Chains A and B, each alone.
Chain A
Amino acid sequence: MHALIQGLILGVLTAGVYALMASGQTLIFGVMKVVNLAQGAMVILSAYLAYGLFTSFGVDPLLAIPVTTVAMFILGVAVQLAFLRPLHDEDRSELSLLVTFAVALLIEGFMSVTWRTTDRSINTSYANSSWSVGGYQITLVRLWAFLLSIAALGVLLLLLNRTRFGRAIRATVQNPESARLLGVESNRVSAIGFGLGTATAAAAGSIYGLLYPFNPGSHYDLISRLLSIVVLGGLGSIAGAIVGALIVSTSSAVVAATISPAWSEMTFFVILILVLLLRPQGIFGTTGRGAI
């Protein structure tokens, strides 16, 4: 029982960072109908940027988030303008898989050349600090990671729900032609929407770098997890991404704590297969255009 509850605590705390990464992924899909296979690589690139700032200038990875967020936003907008905008509407969804995978490989190559292929980790002074609450261990890093992820998600949701531009993004997701007829410039919304999606990778990258060792190839593992989460939650739904992250992360942590860490990795994919069989559109997904 103790192991089960400890696993649940770990799962919930980890879910925050996955929810953040998956929200960016699902936002991009909602606005552009593009599955961004480079999202994992962008998270790892952000982790490397945080690592670089930490080792070269001693900047705490959590304090580096504003810098990496701006950098990843610019990178996202550039990727959208250079590689995705030229694609025709009618085959954008299919071709974007190839294009974003190519971008992922490009980023992987850049990281391999710049930081080599050896595992890196960000070891802050508080990396091993933890609290004991009622006999359960809560590591400080994971708690910070969780709180920061929730804060970043909150900012994203406020932006989407309370601002003029956020309304334009939601309108584009729900009815692109109608949004265009009301003066929403779909190209601008797509570029900024893509930038916002990749900016979430920045915050997530700093946090990921604090939690796990990483190397340029880590994005393959990450993107498969992210895809599992967004498919489980329903492509295009941020609420779905949050719930999907909670389900996947807690079940994986509980399996690791109670059965074996070896089976934990499998849990993602077992859940994914079950969802695809029972509810292919995901928990919050719709068969038509949904709402983010």
Chain B
Amino acid sequence: MDQLLSLTGVVAGYGAGDILKGVDLAVSDGTVTCLIGPNGAGKSTVLKCVSGLIRPSSGTVRFRGDEISRLSPRARLLLGVVHVPQDRSLFPAMTVRDNLLMGGYVMRDQKAVRQRMEEVAEVFPICVRRARDHAGSLSGGEQKQVELARTLVLNPRLILLDEPSIGLDPKSRQLVFSSIRRLAETGRTVLLVEQNARSGLAASDFGAVLEGGVVRLAATGKSLLDDPEVARLYVGAGSSSVSSGVGAPPPPATTDGAP
């Protein structure tokens, strides 16, 4: 599988402190990769570095082989990198239709945007059913569906999802994870941050454990789920440290291959 995204030695943070202290991570084309780890490990910061919301102080971010670390979020969007942040990212006082139109904001050809919206609506029928409703009037699960649909308007190569299941009921959560699988089946690559490690890893081809600002372990989603230490620390109701050894020493921090 070709490598679509790679982070090498990425150091980044907010203000004075560094959250990421040298992240190495690789994501293969057409796969779903799930980042797990304790709160404050820097999972969301990784996504922000990829989408351009924050710029690394050192290290490189490569997309399809090209260095993108210094590009603006808009430039990265045009390359096909879309980011759905953790907090509800829809515009609540705008209709579902207007929210979808915003998904194609960077496209100059408005006719093409509308055509893409029609294609997306076939995958997410809620976009037609609730087109005229304000996004803020939708349930949490419905909003997530529209968020995912909005990312597809641009026909992206890489979708960054930050905690897509947060605050959702079990049924909506299941729907969201099956939608993520559907994205991968249509050839998109997904990099996912998920607190609900079991569901996240189960829906993913690969997984990586982030702790203390570095990737401690990377493997297939299934093997991470089967790893008793990972299961104890992240999948069950365990503590928040992985340093005691998910197999020592930490293996190379990449997800571009087998465990």
Contact = CB atoms under 8 A, between A and B. Distances in A.
Interface in B102-158: 102-103, 105-106, 110, 150
Contacts of B84: 181
A180 B92 contact: no
Interface in A141-199: 164, 167-168, 170-171, 174-175, 177-185
Contacts, number: 67
A180 B106 CA distance: 11
B73 A174 contact: no
Contacts of B78: 183
B105 A177 contact: no
Interface string B82-111: 111100011111100010011101100010
Nearest to B134: A291
Given A164-B105, A167-B102, A168-B105, A182 B93 contact: no
Nearest to B15: A90
A181 B51 contact: yes
A174 B94 contact: yes
A170 B85 CA distance: 19
Given A175-B91, A181-B82, A182-B106, 17 more contacts: A164-B110, A170-B91, A171-B105, A175-B92, A178-B90, A178-B91, A181-B51, A181-B84, A182-B77, A182-B102, A182-B103, A183-B73, A183-B105, A184-B74, A184-B102, A290-B93, A291-B92
B53 A180 contact: yes
Contacts of A174: 91-94
A183 B150 CA distance: 13
> In this complex, which of B78, B98, B102, B150 has the most chain A Cβ atoms within 10 angstroms of its Cβ?
B102
A183 B94 contact: no
Contact of A181 (B85, B92, B110): B85
Interface string B33-63: 0000000000000000001010000000000
Nearest to A166: B98
Chain B interface size range:
20 to 34
A291 B94 CA distance: 9
Contact of A179 (B101, B102, B110, B150): B102
Interface in B56-80: 72-74, 77-78
A170 B103 contact: no
B94 A167 contact: yes
Contacts of A178: 85, 89-91
A69 B90 CA distance: 33
Contacts of A182: 77, 102-103, 105-106, 150
Nearest to B106: A183
Contacts of B92: 174-175, 291
A181 B89 contact: yes
8 contacts: A167-B102, A167-B105, A170-B93, A174-B91, A178-B89, A179-B102, A181-B84, A182-B102
Contact of A177 (B82, B85, B103): B85
A184 B99 CA distance: 13
A290 B72 CA distance: 27
B53 A177 contact: yes
Contacts of A181: 51, 53, 73, 77, 82-85, 89
Contacts of B93: 170, 174, 290-291
Nearest to B107: A183
Contacts of B83: 181
Interface in A267-282: none
Contacts of A168: 102, 105
Contact of B94 (A171, A184, A185, A290): A171
B73 A167 contact: no
A98 B126 CA distance: 47
Contacts of B91: 170-171, 174-175, 178-179
> In this complex, which of A167, A183, A184, A291 has the most chain B Cβ atoms within 10 angstroms of its Cβ?
A183
Contact of B74 (A164, A167, A177, A183): A183
> In this complex, which of A167, A170, A180, A182 has the most chain B Cβ atoms within 10 angstroms of its Cβ?
A182
A125 B51 CA distance: 61
Contacts of B82: 181
A164 to B, nearest CB: 7
A164 B85 CA distance: 23
Contacts of A291: 92-94
A171 B102 CA distance: 8
Contacts of A185: 72, 74
A171 B150 CA distance: 14
Pairs A-B, 3 closest by C-beta atoms: A291-B93, A183-B106, A178-B89
Nearest to B113: A164
> In this complex, which of B93, B98, B150 has the most chain A Cβ atoms within 10 angstroms of its Cβ?
B93
Nearest to B81: A181
B197 to A, nearest CB: 25
Nearest to A175: B91
